[in-house]
Amino acid sequence: MGIKALPEALIFARDLDLDLVEVADKANPPVCRVMDYGKYKYETAQKAKESRRKSTNVVIKEMKYRPKIGGGDFETKTKKVEKFLAEGHKVKITIMFRGREVAHPELGKKILDRVADEIVNTGRVEVWPKLDGPRNMIMVLAPDKKAQANHAAELKKAAEEARPADTEPVPAPEVTEAVVDGAPEVTEPAATTTPEVTDEVAEPAATEPEREPENQP
């Protein structure tokens, strides 16, 4: 709009039902913008909220080891380190020296190298081993999304290869009976001979007629 007097600029903004907002007070003359200030504040708040939502809250965890740590304790602590890395956190590994162990920093370096080898599938070394004071040695690990994705793909492939192959279908038992016109042929059992039974009844033998007695004189 060019250079305008302040009263003229205010009247122009009010006619449009908008606000006159100063955006560069150090300029000569100051720079103002005609805008809806309420809408501008709302959009700015929404963008800040979206930015906070997308940002990840990275927390640095710490795990402490001893130069003479046992195998079981080393495995337990290292698994926790892998869990922290998988959750997206950084992990600070601290080796604590006691007594004469201070004279052998190579023992702490050996432990840190073992940890770095164990977490190769979930993280990477961000800060390499270094002394932190007279009695501590530290190393910082960071999550490695690419390594985690590759490891997950390898596990999936191994699981598919270990899956047993499909078994061949079992052949159906052979049917021995013949089928004619869609009906199975049934073989009748062999006839067995049975004694012939007749209804004839033997007639009694013929007898002579009984003679009448002769008349006696």
| Digit-coded pLDDT (tens) for 122-139 | 999 999 999 988 899 999
Whether residue 155 sits in one domain with residue 65? yes
Whether residue 14 sits in one domain with residue 81? no
Whether residue 26 sits in one domain with residue 40? yes
**What per-residue string of b and e applies to 153-178 under the rule 16 or more CB within 10 Å gives b?**
eeeeeeeeeeeeeeeeeeeeeeeeee
Cis check: omega of the bond before 173, within 30 degrees of 0:
no
Strand order in the sheet with 136-143: 60-65, 90-96, 136-143, 123-131
Whether residue 40 sits in one domain with residue 129? no
**What per-residue string of b and e applies to 102-120 under the rule 16 or more CB within 10 Å gives b?**
eeeeeebbebbeebbebbe
Whether residue 147 sits in one domain with residue 67? yes
Predicted confidence (pLDDT) per residue in 59-79, tens digit: 799 999 999 999 999 999 999
Whether residue 91 sits in one domain with residue 12? no
Whether residue 130 sits in one domain with residue 89? yes
DSSP character at residue 47: H
CATH code: domain of residue 30? 3.10.20.80
Last residue of a domain, one of 54, 69, 87: 54
Handedness of CA 104, 106, 111, 116 (dihedral sign): positive
Establish if 202 belongs to a structural domain: no
Pairing of strands 183-184, 123-131: unpaired
Establish if 196 belongs to a structural domain: no
Quote the domain boundaries for residue 31.
6-54
197 CB neighbour count, 10 Å cutoff: 5
Whether residue 22 sits in one domain with residue 91? no
Residue 88: what are its φ and ψ, rounded to 5°? 95, 15
How many domains, the chain? 2
Whether residue 127 sits in one domain with residue 74? yes
Whether residue 38 sits in one domain with residue 94? no
Whether residue 31 sits in one domain with residue 97? no
Please give the chain's pLDDT, 217 residues, in tens: 888 898 999 999 999 999 999 989 888 889 999 999 999 999 999 998 888 776 666 679 999 999 999 999 999 999 999 999 999 899 999 999 999 999 999 999 999 999 999 999 999 999 999 998 889 999 999 999 999 999 889 988 888 888 765 545 556 666 555 444 554 454 455 554 544 544 444 454 545 555 555 555 4
Whether residue 48 sits in one domain with residue 14? yes
